[in-house]
Structure 1
Amino acid sequence: MTLHSFYIFDRHCRCVYSREYTQGSDGGSTNRSNESDTAKLMFGMLYSLKNIASKLGDKEARNNLKSLSTGKFRLHLFETATGLRFVIVSDPAIDNLQSVLWELYSNYYVRNVAQNALSPVDFACDELLANPKFVSETDRFLSSLPVFR
């Protein structure tokens, strides 16, 4: 399996959704590591590197952080205009998942969360994204990808 986890951070720097994938019988966990140091450190690292990347480029050219690779993993980042950040953690051999992140946002998040009248517009401090339809559809979509295996 090459996809390890999927996170959504809101515009207030909080992890509102986390999904970890394991090879065990349970398939992983949802929203168990939202307040973990891992999620907080990952967001802090991505935020800092995004600021560094934007300052390294000239004023006219937009320099965006889309991916970060280490020897053990690769982070794929997609940021929306409203400040949501979608992050997938994968093996370093996976090259580019921008189209997957766009699909997760535009087809699954917008349809199941943003257009849902019962879903909050802005998540409260202790509120998590736990829409069962969103969880099941994103799981089905990610597990159907060739890079999931």
Structure 2
Amino acid sequence: MTVHSLYIFDRHCNCVYYQDWHRTKPPKPAVEGGILPAVSRAVTPRAASSDGNTTSTFTSPRNTLNLSSGIVVAVNEEPQARNAIEPPAQPPSSTGLPFDEETKLVYGVILSLRNMVKKLTKRDEQFTNYRTSTYKMHLYETISGYKFVMLTDPRADSVRFILRQLYSGPFMDYVVRNPIVDMDSREHGIDNEYFRASVDRIIRGLSIFQ
């Protein structure tokens, strides 16, 4: 069993964060203007440089919040942990959808199944996961409207408690309580390497992670 990928959607239906681990094919970069900046280096559109080569438009974080001291720290250089967490962006494969189209499908599945559950049960029941022959999708939705979506091996048990842990732990510590992060912004993804490193550490520590 394994963990494939993690998406976080905000209250405006935008994908503000993406990270993957055991994905068989690298995601295609989104089209220019298709996603918010800093969602992930692997899916950020690559702009053509003056010599015709493509370069990533991902912007590195310049400010983070030190959890232990509560002091805002200016970061002048990219942390070394970045390369260990996320490999350099891959060239687009010949098959598959651009990442912005992929996120629309993922969000559409969540919305459709959630509405179907409410209509069929006639009660205020929550959609938490569903399974196919190739993957299992897990959902945790916060009161503020953020949706944490994880794709795992279809044999995996529910990881909703892990998604809740990501929200109550790293997300609250490095995003919500970070005075530099605008929580109602439609212009930027979660550009915080402390959050990304913490998520990576939690996921790699799971028993289903191989």
Return the TM-score normalized by structure 1. 0.88
Give me the whole-angstrom Cα distance separating, in 2, the residues matched to 1:128 and 1:89.
20
Change (3 A) 1:110 1:72: same
* C-alpha distance 10-131 of structure 1, shift in aligned 2 (>3 A): same
Determine if the alignment matches structure 1 residue 131 to structure 2 residue 131. no
Q: Does 1:21 align with 2:21?
A: yes
User: Cα deviation per residue 1:43-97 (whole Å; 9 max; x = unaligned)?
Assistant: 0111111011111112xx3211000111000000000001000011001000110
Q: Which amino acid counterpart does residue 101 of structure 2 have in structure 1?
A: D
Q: Which has the higher helix share?
A: 1
How many residue pairs get matched? 141
Shift of 1:23: 7.5
The answer to whether the aligner puts 1:37 opposite 2:98 as a matched pair is no
1:5 maps to: 5
Per the alignment, in what secondary structure is the counterpart of residue 146 of structure 1?
A: coil
Q: CA deviation at 1:22?
A: 3.5
CA distance in 1 between partners of 2:23 and 2:116 (Å): 36
Is 1:147 matched with 2:208?
Answer: yes
1:53 aligns to 2:117 (yes or no):
yes
> Equivalents in 2 of 1:123, 1:138: separation in Å?
22
Aligned mates of 1:23, 1:53 — CA distance in 2: 29
3-state SS of 1:113 partner? helix
Q: What displacement does 1:120 show?
A: 1.0
CA distance in 2, matches of 1:5, 1:111: 22
- Unmatched segments (≥5 aa) in structure 1: 25-29
Structure whose alpha-carbon radius of gyration is higher: 2
Comparing 74-83 with 49-58, which one deviates more in the overlay? 49-58
Of residues 180, 184, 197, the one that matches 1:118 is 180
What is the root-mean-square deviation of aligned Cα atoms in Å?
1.8
Shift in Å at residue 38 of structure 1?
1.4
TM-score, length of structure 2 as denominator length: 0.63
Unaligned residue ranges in structure 2 (runs of 5+): 25-38, 45-98
